[in-house]
Amino acid sequence: MASLDVTETFHGIAYPGHLCTKETLQNALRFPFQDTDILIATYPKSGTTWIQEIVTLVCNRGDPHLSQTVENWARAPWLEHFYAPALLETSSQCPRILTTHLPYHLMASALQGSKAKVIYVSRNPKDVAVSFYHYHKLAKFLPEPGSFQDFLNAFLDGTLNFGSWFDHVKGWICPTVAVDNLLHITYEEMKLDLRSSIERVSSLLQCPLVEEEMNSCLKHCSFDSMKNNRMVNYTSVAPEIMDHTKGSFMRKGKAGDWKNLFTDEQSRHFDSIFRSRMQDCSLNFVWEAPTEDED
Ligand code: PPS
């Protein structure tokens, strides 16, 4: 494990050297998928931990034992992180739940011809930027974020760790070669109607749930449950790695929180870059919080 201030640059994208090396990133590109695998792909702060929890619960028919006893990164490891191969070698979990923040174009050849099921979660990018900004203050393996204005410029330029949000979303949603078995779900859909989002996941995974199992999934993947679950809230991470005095990983869990940080000018500038970068992609994002969720 490298020191916290190392950045690894791989195919033009920066990654935290604390978690990834060129070798671990290269290995992820050649990952031998099994047909039963489930791959969660996200740009950071888009709902990764939430979908990891949903998938874990659906695969276990609502039984929270695994999600309350094994940390998310151990039961749904990031393929590009240094610890993944050792974990997967000793795991008997079936199906395997895997996670990646890598862009589609880097994962394409490993996925080609595979029957693995892929779940891509996206979130409106203004909320992603705000969540990521706060996370940079907490996570000691990411660079200091500077002012929000500086951070936002870097987000829009695609120079942050994990690269450009625009390229990531467009790559996975409009891939050059169609990915079989890909479910695209948004953070806002999960906020608005968690039950039907879980139904879509259970249908992709061919794991139909009876009412009691569904209710258990709903209960255990609610924001309040997850905020209090040490297996997903990262409170067990050492303070040298995450400075818990600077904030919580499970911060607000809201849609539309960007309105509390963006100025009108920042929002207008963001909209114009968004329009130009996304003109070749017909995705519609939900930018406003549902009424009951407003601050
Ligand atoms: S990471 O670091 O990429 O794995 O982060 P990720 O899990 O993708 O994103 C963290 C944000 O997701 C919010 N979150 C939730 N929101 C609503 N309901 C549930 N159950 C939930 N679980 C996680 C979390 O609070 C982070 O968003 P912000 O806006 O910072 O609160």
Identify whether 143 is preceded by a cis peptide bond (ω within 30 of 0). no
Identify the residue whose tokens are 């070698």. Answer: 89
Judged against a pLDDT cut of 60, whether residue 1 lies above it is answered with: no
At residue 295, the pLDDT reads: 47
Domain locations along the chain? 3-278
Task: Determine the average pLDDT of the residues in 156-173.
Answer: 97
The backbone torsions φ and ψ at residue 15, rounded to the nearest 5 degrees and listed phi first, read: -135, 150
Q: Pick the more confident residue, 2 or 186.
A: 186
Output the CA 178–ligand 1 centroid distance in Å.
28
Per-residue pLDDT tens over the stretch 266-282 = 999 999 999 999 998 88
At residue 294, the pLDDT reads: 46
Per-residue pLDDT tens over the stretch 181-236 = 999 999 999 999 999 999 999 999 999 999 999 999 999 999 999 999 999 999 99
Pocket test for ligand 1, best of 45, 75, 132 (most atoms within 8 A of CB): 45
Which one is catalytic: 81, 101, 168, 220? 101
Assign domain 3-278 to its CATH architecture. 3-Layer(aba) Sandwich (3.40)
Using DSSP, state whether 236 is helix, strand or coil: coil
Is 101 known to be catalytic? yes
Task: Determine the average pLDDT of the residues in 235-241.
Answer: 94
At residue 282, the pLDDT reads: 80
Please report the beta strands in the chain, taking only residues with DSSP state E, as ranges in sequence order.
7-10, 13-16, 38-42, 97-100, 117-122, 182-186
Nearest atom in ligand 1 to the alpha carbon of residue 43 is: 3
Q: What residues are in contact with ligand 1 under a 6 Å CB criterion?
A: 42, 44-50, 127, 131, 134, 221-223, 226, 250-253, 257
Q: For the chain, give the mean pLDDT.
A: 94
DSSP category for residue 251? -
